[in-house]
Amino acid sequence: MDAHVSPSRVAGRARAPPSKSYTHRAILAAGYGEGTVVRDPLDSADPHATGRAVEAFGGDVEWDDDASAVRVDGFAGRPETPEDVVDCGNSGTTMRLVTATGGLAGGLVVLTGDGSLRSRPQGPLLDAVTNLGGRAESTRGNGQAPLVVGGAMSGGSVAIPGDVSSQFVSALLMAGAVTNDGIEVELETELKSAPYVEITRELLADFGVDTERTDAGFRVPGGQTYRADEYAVPGDFSSMSYLLAAGALAAEDGETLTVEGARPSAQGDSAIVEILDRMGADIDWDRDAGEIGVGRAALSGVEVDVGDTPDLLPTIAVLGAAADGDTRIVNAEHVRYKETDRVAAMAEELGEMGASVTEEPDSLTVHGDDSDLRGATVDGRGDHRLVMALAVAGLVADGETKIRGAEHVEVSFPGFFETLADLGAEALAGGWP
């Protein structure tokens, strides 16, 4: 499906979707327990993949007709061996979190996904499961899915790199709570995307599970029980970033775009507010009300370290293309291991739109003074975040922008183009009004 975006002004109010990161973790945490109602979940492809995995392990997952809640009867900390292969679709979060769950099963669990997911690195997590008493292998011997895990992992101490994916740590903390011995994770390298581990720890506390930081990493005692009658998912700051960027670049003169559902949480991507403020945006966050208002203003380039906020790179790159001076995005090598290589992809697709971009192994610099955004045909590359970021760029490009693969926004922001249109944008995807 293609999307078409023309130069537009936006204003009004919009609510960002619930957090995908919290929804994944809440559904799986409920699976580790016995019965939980997860309120306000993100109803999209990736969380449904996690729900299917919980069912494969012996739980029952039922979404309300209006998707306002998902009701989970869990497997009480003892995952069954699935009767069939567990297909994680395009969801890297699902695969990594449930790899550790599968390591608890007495038999063997086969995990796979689509072509993109089968190219993403899982080796350090497989090694960790093996070192903790389970069995974990890549069927092709390359550290990538399909994976085979099982062997009733018992727990213990393990050392893993922190600069590949924080999801490895989150997976081990979630599974470690129900092992006999608990799990202590020593980080061999600096932890990238650290706020995502704090999201996991915050959510685990809400389910009655204790974790702690150590001098070398993290620890979760074993023999714990997941308990929560209800859990409410907060709004998603990664998704809010596109709306906030749209307001900063394209708000009507004298008007603001207000994003609802922005209550404080452990989400690292709330850093988008501070980044926009540093760039000179007219932005105000009412934390008590959970609302952020943003108006159009002249922006200036800044340097942003995305070590903890990899999902913001596409948004920041688009902001940089419309800002004065250089916007330098650093500490970004791990962003190459997402749904696509987002560093290279944003460099190439923004280049198609007339941006001047310098790509290095661990950084991306957008030269705003040498950029003149124009409409073009660009490829979302099967990556929801690229599609949404390029749509924001289309709001301020000269001429129409055509974005291939628009349907992938359903992964994290169902109805994204409808939301843009409701705010006044000339945005159309497929047959949507």
404 is in an annotated binding site: no
CATH architecture label of 2-17+235-429: Alpha-beta prism (3.65)
pLDDT value for 363: 98
214-233 mean pLDDT: 97
Is 92 one of the annotated binding-site residues?
yes
* Element of type H or E holding 282: strand 282-286
- Read off the pLDDT of residues 358-397 as tens digits, 9 standing for 90 and up: 999 999 999 999 999 999 999 999 999 999 999 999 999 9
Give the pLDDT of residue 431. 54
Is position 78 annotated in a ligand binding site? no
CA distance readout (Å), 6 to 1, 10, 242, 250, 394: 17, 12, 16, 12, 6
pLDDT at 433: 40
Pair 112, 88: CB distance under 8 Å: yes
pLDDT at position 16 is 86
Do the annotations mark residue 311 as ligand-binding?
yes
Catalytic residues: 311
* Average pLDDT, integer, range 350-362: 98
43-69 pLDDT, tens per residue? 989 999 999 999 999 999 999 999 999
Q: Is 239 known to sit in a ligand binding site? A: no
pLDDT in tens, 19-33: 999 999 999 999 999
One-letter amino acid at 74 equals: G
In this prediction, residue 337 has a pLDDT band, given cuts at 50, 70 and 90, of confident
CATH 3.30.420.40 fits 20-232, yes or no: no
Mean pLDDT of 151-180: 96
Tokens of 375: 């409409």
Tell whether the model's pLDDT for residue 128 goes beyond 80: yes
pLDDT band at 432 (very low <50, low <70, confident <90, very high): very low
The phi, psi pair for 131, rounded to 5°, reads: -70, -20
In contact, 276 and 237? CB cutoff 8 Å: no
263 is in an annotated binding site: no
Please, where in the chain does CATH 3.65.10.10 lie? 2-17+235-429, 20-232
264-303 pLDDT tens trace: 989 999 999 999 999 999 999 999 999 999 999 999 999 9
Instruction: Identify the DSSP state of 289.
Output: T
- Whether 424 and 35 have beta carbons less than 8 Å apart is answered as no
Average pLDDT over residues 236-246: 97
20 is in an annotated binding site: yes
Q: What percent of the chain has pLDDT over 70?
A: 99
pLDDT at residue 225, as a whole number: 98
Q: Which residues contact 277 (CB under 8 A, 6 or more apart)?
A: 283
Of the candidates 50, 49, 104, 105, the residue with the CA atom closest to the CA atom of residue 82: 105
Instruction: Give the angle 171-162-166 at the CA atoms, nearest 5°.
Output: 40
C-alpha to C-alpha distance for 195 and 173, rounded to whole angstroms: 14
Q: What is the mean pLDDT of the chain?
A: 96
- Identify how many contiguous H helices and E strands the chain contains and give both numbers: 12, 24
pLDDT at position 192 is 87
Q: Is 287 annotated as a binding residue?
A: no
Residue 165 labelled as part of a binding site: yes
pLDDT tens digits for range 70-109: 999 999 999 999 999 999 999 999 999 999 999 999 999 9
Q: What pLDDT was estimated at residue 230?
A: 97
Are 323 and 300 in contact, with CB atoms under 8 Å apart? yes
338 annotated to a ligand binding site: yes
Residue at 245: amino acid letter: A
Q: Is 25 annotated as a binding residue?
A: yes
